[in-house]
Amino acid sequence: MERFRAMKMMDISATRELPELERLRAAAAIAQAMIPGSAIGPAADEQTVLHTERFISRTLPESLGAFRAAHRALSQAARAYTGRRFEELSPDEADALLQRWTVHPILGKAVNLLGVLYRVTHFSQPELLQKHAPLPTVQNVEQPRWLSQTAAARDFDASEPLECDVVVIGTGAGGAVVGRHLADQGLAVVFVEEGEHLRRNDFPGTLTGTLSEVYRNTVSIGNAPIMIPQGRLVGGSTAVNGGSSFRPPRWVTDRWCEEYGSAEFSTDALEGYFDRTESILQVEKADTRYAGPLHNIFTRGASELGWHSDVIARNAPGCRGEGFCDFGCKTDARRSTNLAYLPTAFEKGAFMLYGLRAERVIHDGRRATGIEAVALERDRSICLAENGKPKRIRIQARAVIVAGGALNSPLFLAKQGIGNSSGQLGRNITLHPSGPVTGLFDEKIDSAKYIPQADYSFEFLKEGLLLLSAGSDYQTTAPLLGLLGKPLVEVLEQQNHLAGIGYLLAEEARGRIRLGPKGLPVLTYNITKRDMQRIQRALVLCSELLFAAGAREVFPGLLKPMRLKSKADVEALARASLSPSDLIVTSYHPLGSCRMSQDPRQGVVDLNHECHDLKGLFVVDGSTVAGPLGVNPQITIMALATRAAERIGALLNAS
């Protein structure tokens, strides 16, 4: 292992100046203490640091300075504690100091956040993946006829504007669905997608590759940093999710009817739209033959406790659990919108330009008449035309539909000063926060070989808590464990015996997204005291289920290390003084940032999804769905987009 590290250091030394080498050595010493060598593979080293910095530069570039500053702060702290720099400590001394820091009231935050980053990046490196989770080879990818209806904007002749009835910005759960149904009505539709058109052989297959190449990542500012990854590719987030398909509870649709002053959003009134959506998606319960031991554990634990549990209905007919869904489906078993909706639209004459970022809505002050967009290279840099200027494409349309998602759509409108006469643009955001709990079992689980999410419990749904099974591999397990150093690798060496459960919270908190310095998005969101109490309860409930199923140790989703080995430990977790900043928490379901209302003073769009401030401009995506739903929102967004297509089509056909 030392020879391996020395060879890597020689490669780095050949291309870097001494001060940079010293910085890397100092950072690598911290990284190595966080992830020491083990049976899993070599320790983190200088290459891990460089890999992490490249990852940050691609996903959250504004955070790179803080990442480096955290290392400097810890090096100085080591001097204060030991009189020596961190890289001068022996491995045992470094581990002892690291474990001491993880529970420090101030240093613990920096240490544990750095630890999350290194746990994300280290286990995505090629040599480790090749050993533990070699990427599948995909061959003989189909070349359907409808591909002729798609083009990369960088290769498209932009000399003349395109003309159509409707231009749709975005191809996810909102855009692809509303566009397909408008094409069904005989309208000429052009889809504009900022991301690339990835076929099943194009997905990176790694956690860092997926986050940096396939997702757009936003981190909230508040009492807990919450990362919100959203799909940036044809199909949007529907192409990189688990396919869980829940209808919203009746109390949610009752709330909508009251808020909107309309019975059109009742469960009964929306039933036909949900039926149609589920039929197109071919939603069916997961085949438990491919759910694996994790299904047995979830069912066994819930049964022991007398809780409800059932198998999740998914838009993945024929799925055999052959990969981690959030990295992209290698078999096309999941019917994401790029498979279930767009091809039908193309067969009706619709056209799609991908690698094209919408820049502005063209309008005359009263009505939208099209958009102007800029072509992008594969690396997301701006494509230059032959004259050396950005390659721009104009699309003239009778209607413009914005469907960029709950975080992107309000920013797109805000940049142009459109849609905020009510003051509600970018407000009212719900995130549906989620977090993990992991159990260690004697039995072999191998959850990476099966459907990652096959089971759920509605036992506590009225309290706002949804519990789900959550399978993972080395890449995705490591960031979810609040462990560092020797304890981390000792647990990961037993990866095949780990089982995960996730919780989702229908929260009371509301966030806001707006443009910050240099036009960067700023999302503010604070977990409330009541929400924190319910999250802590969720951690306890998940721990109880895992112990009831036979776990010998449980790791709640906290940044600081906590290991539960008995019922008494679970009771201690329930009594523990936890704060939002202690949580490992993410969000995949942002909603509500372009509020729907009949009253222009209270909302961004009306009940037909048309912008109050500009006729012919519509917003159809998660931003117009009033959350939280308490369940995964995918088919709700799709069903409401199906309804929106009826309304928009009627307006266009009447004009």
DSSP state of 15: T
Q: In whole angstroms, give the CA distance from residue 641 to residue 622.
A: 9
- Sign, Cα dihedral of 619, 637, 212, 71: positive
Return the bridge partners of 314, or none. Answer: 244, 284
- On whether the CB atoms of residues 199 and 140 are closer than 8 A, the answer is no
Average pLDDT, the chain: 93
Q: In whole angstroms, give the CA distance from residue 107 to residue 103.
A: 8
Check pLDDT > 50 for residue 197: yes
Residue 352 confidence (pLDDT): 98
Go through 400-420 and write b for each residue having 16 or more CB atoms within 10 A of its CB, e for each that does not. bbbbbbbbbbbbbbbeeebbb
DSSP H helical ranges for 333-464: 337-340, 342-347, 408-415
Check pLDDT > 70 for residue 503: yes
Give the mean model confidence (pLDDT) for residues 610-628.
98
* Structure-block tokens of residue 217: 């990542």
* Three-class secondary structure of residue 305 per DSSP: helix
- Name the helix (H) or strand (E) containing 215: strand 215-219
CA angle 424, 426, 431 (to 5 degrees): 120
**In Å, how far from its chain's centre is CA 595?**
22
Give the mean model confidence (pLDDT) for residues 435-455.
95
The label of the residue with tokens 């009189």 reads 83
- On whether the CB atoms of residues 336 and 134 are closer than 8 A, the answer is no
CATH class of this structure's domain 145-207+230-243+246-282+334-417+597-654: alpha beta
Close Cβ partners of 626 (under 8 Å, ≥ 6 residues apart) = 255, 256, 259, 428, 591, 592, 595, 596
CA angle 492, 496, 499 (to 5 degrees): 90
User: If you write DSSP's letter for every residue of 483-528 in order, what string do you get?
Assistant: --SHHHHHHHTTGGGEEEEEEEE--S--BEEEE-GGG-EEEE----
DSSP H helical ranges for 337-482: 337-340, 342-347, 408-415, 474-477
Number of neighbouring beta carbons within 10 Å of residue 216:
22
Residue 138 confidence (pLDDT): 79
* Structure-block tokens of residue 281: 């998606």
Question: Which among 87-101, 196-210, 295-309, 512-526 has the top mean pLDDT?
Answer: 295-309
Angle, helix 91-102 to helix 107-122, in steps of 10 degrees: 120
Close Cβ partners of 31 (under 8 Å, ≥ 6 residues apart) = 44, 45, 48, 49, 52, 118, 122
pLDDT band per the 50, 70, 90 thresholds, residue 646: very high
List, for residues 305-334, the tens digit of each pLDDT value: 999 999 999 999 989 888 788 888 888 899
Q: In whole angstroms, give the CA distance from residue 645 to residue 449.
A: 39
Residue 2 confidence (pLDDT): 36
Give the mean model confidence (pLDDT) for residues 436-464.
96
CA–CA distances in Å: residue 392 to residues 95, 293, 368, 388, 495: 54, 52, 18, 12, 49
The label of the residue with tokens 């999804």 reads 609
CATH class of this structure's domain 285-314+434-506+528-582: alpha beta
List, for residues 125-176, the tens digit of each pLDDT value: 877 777 766 667 777 788 999 999 999 999 999 888 999 999 999 999 999 9
CA angle 599, 604, 607 (to 5 degrees): 60
| Rg, the chain, Cα only | 25
Q: In whole angstroms, give the CA distance from residue 77 to residue 641.
A: 54
Residue 520 confidence (pLDDT): 86
Residue 17 confidence (pLDDT): 56
Q: In whole angstroms, give the CA distance from residue 382 to residue 374.
A: 7
Q: In whole angstroms, give the CA distance from residue 105 to residue 182.
A: 56
User: Minimal CA–CA distance to 42: which of 92, 91, 1?
Assistant: 1
Residue 22 confidence (pLDDT): 86
List, for residues 578-617, the tens digit of each pLDDT value: 999 999 999 999 999 999 999 999 999 999 999 999 999 9
Residue 9 confidence (pLDDT): 41
- Using CB atoms within 10 Å of the CB of residue 396, give its burial: 0 to 12 exposed, 13 to 18 middle, 19+ buried: middle
* Structure-block tokens of residue 478: 């490591």
Residue 358 confidence (pLDDT): 98
Omega prior to 628 cis, within 30 of 0: yes
- Using CB atoms within 10 Å of the CB of residue 490, give its burial: 0 to 12 exposed, 13 to 18 middle, 19+ buried: middle
- Sign, Cα dihedral of 412, 415, 419, 425: positive
Of 81-85, 424-428, 573-577, the poorest mean pLDDT is in: 81-85
Of 99-113, 164-178, 331-345, 460-474, the poorest mean pLDDT is in: 99-113
User: Minimal CA–CA distance to 52: which of 37, 23, 77, 31?
Assistant: 31
Q: Where do the structural domains in the chain lie, given as residue ranges?
A: 2-122, 145-207+230-243+246-282+334-417+597-654, 285-314+434-506+528-582
List, for residues 546-558, the tens digit of each pLDDT value: 999 999 999 999 9
Residue 133 confidence (pLDDT): 67
The label of the residue with tokens 């005291």 reads 529
Residue 14 confidence (pLDDT): 43
In this structure, the strands spanning 368-375 and 356-363 are antiparallel
Q: In whole angstroms, give the CA distance from residue 488 to residue 478.
A: 8
Go through 147-183 and write b for each residue having 16 or more CB atoms within 10 A of its CB, e for each that does not. eebbbbbbebebeeebebbbbbbbbbbbbbbbbbbbb
The label of the residue with tokens 């009212």 reads 428
Residue 140 confidence (pLDDT): 78
Length of the chain: 655
* Three-class secondary structure of residue 471 per DSSP: coil
Where is pLDDT greater, at 127 or 295?
Answer: 295
Q: In whole angstroms, give the CA distance from residue 322 to residue 240.
A: 14
Give the mean model confidence (pLDDT) for residues 522-530.
98
* Structure-block tokens of residue 630: 């308490």
